Chains A and B, each alone.
Chain A
Amino acid sequence: MPSSRFPIPQGTLDMLILQILSLEPAHGYGIAQRLQQISRSVVQVNQGSLYPALHRLEQKRWLRSEWRPSETGRDAKFYSLTSSGRKQLKVEKECWARLTGAIQLVFDEDN
């Protein structure tokens, strides 16, 4: 494992999935690829935890899923955001902003 890549912080995977799906519906493999692209391979997502996360989010009714043809023509399970998922994403983004802001403040104190 190259040291420039680090595992994704606990709890942020859900948020990233919601963010990616807020742009457009996607299937599991698509989400995995996009995560890779967007984070420029810095963030390393264990693909094994992707599907449990998807099912967990669906269980919480933040996502819904349907089978439909993918870009290769074969049927794939596409996930999309529900309205409560959209709300959740907004909440999490705010939380994240406040958290990182607060942490930044703590760091700034140092200088």
Chain B
Amino acid sequence: MKRLLNWFRLRNLESDLDRELKYHIERRVSDLMLSGLPEPGARRQATLELGGITQVQEEVRDIWLTQWLRDFAYDLRFSARAFLRSPSFSATAVLSLALGIGATTAIYSLIDQVVLHALPVHEPQRLVLIDWKGDGAGVNAFGSYNLMPYPLCRDLHLQDQFFDGVLCRAVTTINLSTSGDPRLAAAEIVSGTYFSVLGVRPALGRLLTTDDDQTPGATPVVVLSYDFWKAQLAGAPDVVGRKVLINKHPMTVVGVAARGFHGIDVGEVPSLWIPAAMSAQAIPGFNGMLDHRTFWMQVLGRLRPDMTLAQAQAGLQPWFKTMLDEDTRRAGFPAITPERRQRFLASTLELTPAPQGHSTLRRRLSQPLWVLFAATALLLGLACLNVAGLFLARGSAREREVSTRLALGASRGRIGRQFLADSILLALAGGLLGVVLAPLAMKVLIAFLPRDAAANALQSVINTRLLRFAFLASVATGLLTGFAPALQAGRRSLISSLRERGGTARGGLRLRRVIVMAQIAFTLILVVGAALFIRTLTALLTKGPGFDTSSLISFGIDPASKRLLVVRSRGSFAAFMTKSVL
């Protein structure tokens, strides 16, 4: 145990050793100087006598670690041999741990992708989401959450005592044609500050700047995402300068964004970025870019390094108040009731940390995901208990082996560690199998999510972060599983157990009772949870949407077909549809 502690306290030991050696050198130097040596010479000789300080440190470090590791490796070998001798026991244990670890890893992967993963940009922790709190008296709003008008974003960008910069963005779907047939593509309409505020670099050419975002309609340029460039344009090196058609408007590709940058929303991966100045072209029929009452963009800011969130939020309010006042006098301010006007004037700006960017998917999924994670953690806990129970049963069968080892002089700690090695080895095997199973579980989970949101955003791949999680989960599982049996090891008095000649297994009876009780409790929670879930699901399925859905169809129009329909009136559209469907 002491060595295990040593391992964790290595840093502490280091400084200790450092001090110890320094003391030695100082003493030697002063002794040598007393005998007439000048200081530099004395110092050199003192170091030389030690054979080099680094060498000594290395050697001592080796002593700390190798002993422990060597013993542990020996334990693992012994455990592996024991497991191979009882394959059915091992298979049961590994399989139940694999299920637990695999499920937990799968859910964690989704949580990691949706909730935890910070944007691959410069200092993501300084990003904040700026949101309008109150009644914006908007006449026009589309998009999802946290919407703001574009002019406000421009004004906020000028508040440079709080922000290093402010960006805004909106997602849309455009009709894109690069060379052949047009197809639908996700695009992000962004302010000219977008890339510079995020600190994203180009992989090719240049990115959008504020110059691209001055006069509406004057700068037909786009930046492609790295993945789109690689997948759809085969990574063509001469892509910069090419023309693409966006909703039939020609625009020039000026660059490709850095690899790994997928916009700021995990749920909406854009193929390209269009400056807000071209929003009228990117969103057919839209001309609200400069309108103060059209809410359509999310605004994110980068706080100055010396600014806290609270300071910035408090500091912004007076300025915001003045702006609200101005707004009411502006032409085009809607005629609203005095009551609503009051609410409008009481609006404030709200800042929230946004190192992970903005995501509607996260809003919708983070809570269910955490619930699911808790449920799988419970499942893993159950697997631990199962295996711990198995271990205890096996432990009683091994009583004689343990007694013999004790009689031969093994310490109880040594035997306890052997038991821990057993469980850790099993858990690692289970973890390995779990990681193999996890992508399967992830695919199933992603298929369960609403298709539009999750399909292209979430991936069922194992990355290093996930492997690290699975490894930690396995080790924790192993420690948890082995803890009870290890404590139980060698509890009984040596003489009585040797005398008993393979006798009855009484050891750990109370412990096993506790484990069985915990198992029942855990299982009950899970069964009740699952039953409730199934009931809700069936209820929803039988209830339907609340109206008669027989012989109703839903449809979308595919713009890839060349015979694009020009709709002149609602009547002609209905006539066309009737003709096509019937």
Contacts and interface: CB of A to CB of B under 8 A. Distances in A.
A51 B19 contact: no
B63 A55 contact: yes
- Majority secondary structure of chain A interface residues (helix, strand, loop or mixed): helix
Given A48-B50, A51-B20, A52-B59, A29 B27 contact: yes
A56 to B, nearest CB: 5
Contacts of B59: 48-49, 51-52
B50 A76 contact: no
Given A59-B63, A77-B19, A48 B52 contact: yes
Given A29-B28, A59-B3, A59-B67, A51 B60 contact: yes
Contacts of A40: none
Contacts of A55: 17, 60, 63-64
Nearest to B68: A59
B88 interface: no
Given A47-B51, A55-B60, A77-B19, A29 B67 contact: no
A54 B343 CA distance: 76
A23 B67 CA distance: 29
B141 interface: no
Interface residues of B, number: 24
Residue among B26, B50, B55 facing the most chain A CB atoms (10 A cut-off): B50
A48 B62 CA distance: 14
Contacts of B27: 29, 72
A47 B50 contact: yes
A25 interface: no
A76 B63 contact: no
A49 B59 CA distance: 8
A59 B28 CA distance: 26
B55 A48 contact: yes
A64 to B, nearest CB: 11
A70 B23 CA distance: 10
Given A29-B28, A72-B27, A46 B63 contact: no
A93 to B, nearest CB: 22
Contacts of A56: 63
Given A46-B51, A47-B50, A59 B20 contact: no
A105 to B, nearest CB: 31
Contacts of B21: 51
Nearest to B20: A77
A27 B50 CA distance: 15
B49 interface: yes
Contacts of B63: 52, 55-56, 59
Interface string A39-62: 000000011110110011001010
Contacts of B530: none
Range for the number of chain A residues in contact with chain B: 20 to 34
Contact of B23 (A29, A46, A52, A61): A29
Interface in B12-60: 16-17, 19-21, 23-24, 26-28, 49-52, 55-56, 59-60
A19 to B, nearest CB: 20
Given A48-B50, A48-B52, A76 B60 contact: no
A10 B428 CA distance: 40
Contacts of B26: 74
Contacts of A72: 27
Nearest to B59: A52
A46 B19 CA distance: 20
Contacts of B24: 28-29, 32, 47, 51
Contacts of B55: 48
B51 A74 contact: no
Contacts of B3: 59
A10 B67 CA distance: 19
A23 B359 CA distance: 72
Contacts of B20: 27-28, 51, 76-77
A65 to B, nearest CB: 9
Interface string A61-82: 1000000001010111100000
B131 to A, nearest CB: 56
Nearest to A76: B23
A52 B60 contact: yes
B519 to A, nearest CB: 39
Given A27-B23, A29-B24, A76-B23, A47 B49 contact: yes
A61 to B, nearest CB: 8
Contacts of A74: 23, 26
A46 B59 CA distance: 14
A49 B16 CA distance: 17
Contacts of A70: 23
B270 to A, nearest CB: 58
A75 B3 CA distance: 25
Interface in B484-528: none
Contacts of B51: 46-49
Contacts of B19: 75, 77
Contacts of A27: 20, 23
Interface of B: 2-3, 16-17, 19-21, 23-24, 26-28, 49-52, 55-56, 59-60, 62-64, 67
Given A52-B59, A77-B20, 16 more contacts: A27-B20, A29-B24, A48-B50, A51-B21, A51-B24, A51-B59, A52-B62, A52-B63, A55-B17, A56-B63, A59-B63, A70-B23, A75-B19, A76-B23, A77-B16, A77-B19
9 contacts: A27-B23, A29-B27, A48-B59, A51-B21, A51-B56, A55-B63, A55-B64, A59-B64, A75-B23
